[in-house]
Structure 1
């Protein structure tokens, strides 16, 4: 399972640096400018918790951890690792801002974190208990995890063209550009529920236009270019 540390004002793990109060205030101001005010909520009438931008793809990473704990742990590690891999392809320098609602914020040096012999996450990308944001300093590309909806929004043209493509090969898609199947032309399909395997989701594009993964790649720029999603 992904190693975690709990914040009790102890030194953060390699690659993680606390944001000071001024930096935290600035980061949350940028967050609100990009996504609106955070709308925390336990129930579906409060979801999504942000105004999901375009382009973006929101995934359902849920899995019953009590059924096969090893699979749940592997899925969590895969999401965390793939996000770092793709962010490293676009972050220059290799730093992102990490926000954890009502908790300290961090600046994460992705290179130092990924190179650490025993990499430890202060907070993960996978939403396992709070609202987590991993984002470039200009808030143009990143991820937002919702702990109660159990969703992960991937946003920004380059991440949509890379990270969203690889995740969509095995995670169900909830929304594209903040819109669900019912009101999004990218989600034209026969009647199956919104939370569905990505492969069936892709097959729905055979009549509506090019393959979904190809369309997602087309919307993104180069970067993390080996993420073919095929």
Structure 2
């Protein structure tokens, strides 16, 4: 977790830089960054773990810095992906699959990350290095993307 001032600042950046527009009917919920790829989340309950594994692997390989996990209007986390989720470490914070709220994994500068939209049932992946890490495994899991920016 992180303090309220940092939480507010991160969300301000999300609203400004990604043009975040929460809505249950207007899609997409962000201005998807150039180079982003968006998939429909047509995975059953069994596929959610596979989705999480693909994104965790991509974030570990493609980032090299602390990340934020954001759950709209709830507590968020700042964490080092190399120090969580393995035996003897704290568990990996959050989930990628948006189960009723917007979930994001992002770098501090928002140059890469994921944006899960709970009502459009989509996952947008952005940032060249992250897209390169996860695109093929996500195509295998989710099928062809619904959008590319």
Please say if 1:153 is aligned against 2:133. no
CA distance in 1, matches of 2:88, 2:146: 35
Alpha-carbon separation, structure 1, partners of 2:90 and 2:119 = 26
Q: Aligned ranges for residues 13-162 of structure 1 at < 5 Å?
A: 18-36=1-19, 38-43=20-25, 46-63=26-43, 72-93=44-65, 95-116=66-87, 120=91, 122-162=93-133
Partners in 1 of 2:132 and 2:55 — Cα distance? 13
User: Any idea what SS the aligned residue of 2:105 has?
Assistant: strand
Distance 2:67 2:121 in 1: 22
Give structure 1 stretches of 5+ with no counterpart. 1-17, 64-71, 178-230
170, 173, 186: which one aligns with 2:141: 170
Q: Distance in 2 between matches of 1:111 and 1:121?
A: 10
In 1, are the aligned partners of 2:114 and 2:123 still within 8 Å (CA)? yes
CA distance in 1 between counterparts of 2:102 and 2:117 reads 5
Unaligned runs of 5+ in 2: none
Matches within 5 A, 1:139-218: 139-172=110-143, 173-177=145-149
CA separation of 1:122/1:91 partners in 2, compared to 1, >3 Å: closer, same or farther? closer
In 1, Cα distance between equivalents of 2:45 and 2:92: 14
Q: Which has the larger radius of gyration?
A: 1
How far did residue 30 of structure 1 move?
1.7
Question: How many Å apart are 1:165 and its aligned residue?
Answer: 2.4
Query: Could you list the per-position Cα deviations for residues 169-188 of structure 1 after superposition, in whole angstroms to 9, with x for gaps in the alignment?
Result: 231311101xxxxxxxxxxx
In 1, Cα distance between the equivalents of 2:91 and 2:98?
Answer: 16
Q: Using the alignment, how far apart are the partners of 2:62 and 2:14 within structure 1? A: 19
Q: Deviations over 1:126-178 (max 9, x none)?
A: 1112101101222101100000111000001111212122201231311101x
Normalising by structure 2, what TM-score? 0.89
Q: Return the TM-score normalized by structure 1.
A: 0.60
**Cα RMSD (Å):** 1.8
Distance 2:141 2:112 in 1: 21
RCO higher in 1 or 2 (8 Å CA, sep ≥ 6)?
2
Shift of 1:117: 5.4
Aligned mates of 2:24, 2:88 — CA distance in 1: 37
